[in-house]
Amino acid sequence: MNERIGEGPAARVLVASNRGPVSFRLEADGTLSARRGGGGLVSGISAAGLGSDAVWVCAAMSDADREAARRSPGGRLDRSDLLPGDGDGQGLPVRLLDIPPEVFTDGYNGIANSVLWFVHHMLYDTPVEPAFDAHFATQWENFRAYNEAFARALAEEAGPDAVVLVQDYHLVLVPGLLRALRPDLRVGHFSHTPWAPVDYFRMLPDAVAREVLLGILGADRAGFLTERWARAFAACCRDLLAAEVREAGAPDAAGDGRDLLEIVHEGRTTRIGVHGLGADAAFLTERSRRPDVDARMAVLREQVGDRRMLVRVDRTELSKNIVRGLLAYQHLLRTRPEWHGRVVHVAFAYPSRQDLASYRHYTAEVRRLADAVNAEFGTEDWTPLLLHVEDDFARSLAAYRMADVAVVNPIRDGMNLVAKEIPVVSDAGCALVLSREAGAYAELGEDALGINPYDVVGTAEAMHQALSMPPEERSGRSKRLAEAAAALPPARWFMDQLEALG
């Protein structure tokens, strides 16, 4: 049962996610260069002090990643490329799965990003989509195969009674598949997205909807970012599977890691927990005070002058609602001429999922609208909107520090860390315009200016209020936002889940 590939000892703690902590580039001379990724999981795992008795299983996402997997025995990467470990300088073991490209593409682009992501964020234009046709059926088979590849690798790598933390919508079938292979393991699943309301979720073909729910219920414990998403999942289990849903003692509003619910289906119980994820304040504070950030601040100051700065930073992602955000800014300038020449909207929209046509079209619409705003209002000495589409982390941090107002208006969002990072990093305090459909709203709602993300006029009004906020009020709110945002650091998020799985 436990046939192991590779060199390391059987793992005690395993993490599985589609995108791993490292990606590769094939250089002209045939060598591979590694690039380490950031994010909450990386810092959580580093802080947990896991070394050689842990392994992170993830997918090769490009040809260079596949090449790296092929050059490594059993797909286990050379640890010197990787994460800092528990002080032994060795790094965390990573196993990169070389899944056949057509299986990966159907699983990742076809199902995970074009179906499950769309369902949970309610992104479909329902008069014409989705249409679950024969092509979808093939993609679903490949999604299952992609999840099976993860389940097999985890079963191979795990030591007896190991704990496995499976991440996100890409890998919803893994808990159930893994339980069948290795009933001794303790398996957790965590959803980083919202969960769709029942009526939206049941758009999926019945058998597929059931397979998704049963996949997650294969876990001992399923985690969500907020109580709202946890309860939506439970409602789907109750209505589609006739599962029994029991209260397990309510956590506090921010989620304190205790169990919220228990779902009983065919004699098995899956515990449901809420774990909010906060900003990594220690890292951000240090990183945002480095010279590269200071240099970007000088450039931005030059461009913005002494005008107010309204900032947004997103992946160019359909759920982030960038188009309505720009329309709201346009409406603000149309209806409040007092802001002409006195405000600059700095909008960073970094490329994401450009393999999908809908994302390419969306990116084009964002650019078109930005040009239209500048054409309508720009003057010789005032560019009302600065749009940047090249990813630059130091420049994002510079804008975080300088923002007078931050706009975070997603249609729906599991949490939204930008809303939390900006107040933590802000130099002089920042007013936050925040969608009530972002998970972060549960924790930040009191000191943010809440908006309905579909209401362009309402969003423009909130922008006006935020820009007009007296400095003392702004800095008071910003301090409280920063405290709430930093209350659940990634390390705690990770450790709480490990502990909850025993």
Contact residues for ligand G6P (CB under 6 A)? 19, 113, 168, 192-193, 352-353
Minimum distance between the CB of residue 383 and ligand G6P, rounded to whole angstroms?
30
Which residue number places its CB atom closest to ligand G6P? 192
Cβ closer to ligand G6P: 311 or 318? 318
Cβ closer to ligand G6P: 221 or 353? 353
Minimum distance between the CB of residue 66 and ligand G6P, rounded to whole angstroms?
17
Angle at the Cα of 499 from the Cα atoms of 498 and 502, rounded to 5 degrees: 95
Token pair belonging to 7: 């060199």
Cβ closer to ligand G6P: 20 or 75? 20
Cβ closer to ligand G6P: 19 or 479? 19
Residue among 150, 145, 157 nearest 14 (CA): 157
Minimum distance between the CB of residue 479 and ligand G6P, rounded to whole angstroms?
27
Minimum distance between the CB of residue 36 and ligand G6P, rounded to whole angstroms?
15
Minimum distance between the CB of residue 191 and ligand G6P, rounded to whole angstroms?
8
Estimate the crossing angle of helix 357-377 against helix 322-335, to 10 degrees. Answer: 10
Please, where are the H alpha helices in 267-383?
281-287, 291-304, 322-335, 357-377
Minimum distance between the CB of residue 352 and ligand G6P, rounded to whole angstroms?
6
Cβ closer to ligand G6P: 279 or 332? 279
Residue among 123, 294, 254 nearest 200 (CA): 123
Cβ closer to ligand G6P: 300 or 434? 434
What is the Cα 473 distance to its own chain's centre?
Answer: 30
- Give 364: exposed, middle or buried? Use CB within 10 Å, 0-12, 13-18, 19+: exposed
Residue among 389, 388, 384, 385 nearest 360 (CA): 389
User: What's the N-to-C CA distance of the chain in angstroms?
Assistant: 23
Minimum distance between the CB of residue 170 and ligand G6P, rounded to whole angstroms?
7
- Give 280: exposed, middle or buried? Use CB within 10 Å, 0-12, 13-18, 19+: buried
Say how far apart CA 374 and CA 297 lie, in whole Å: 22
Minimum distance between the CB of residue 167 and ligand G6P, rounded to whole angstroms?
7
Contact between residue 108 and residue 67 where contact means Cβ atoms under 8 Å apart: no
Say how far apart CA 483 and CA 466 lie, in whole Å: 20
Report phi then psi at 17, rounded to 5.
-150, 155
Minimum distance between the CB of residue 98 and ligand G6P, rounded to whole angstroms?
18
Cβ closer to ligand G6P: 144 or 192? 192
Cβ closer to ligand G6P: 193 or 497? 193
Cβ closer to ligand G6P: 168 or 404? 168
Contact between residue 145 and residue 101 where contact means Cβ atoms under 8 Å apart: no
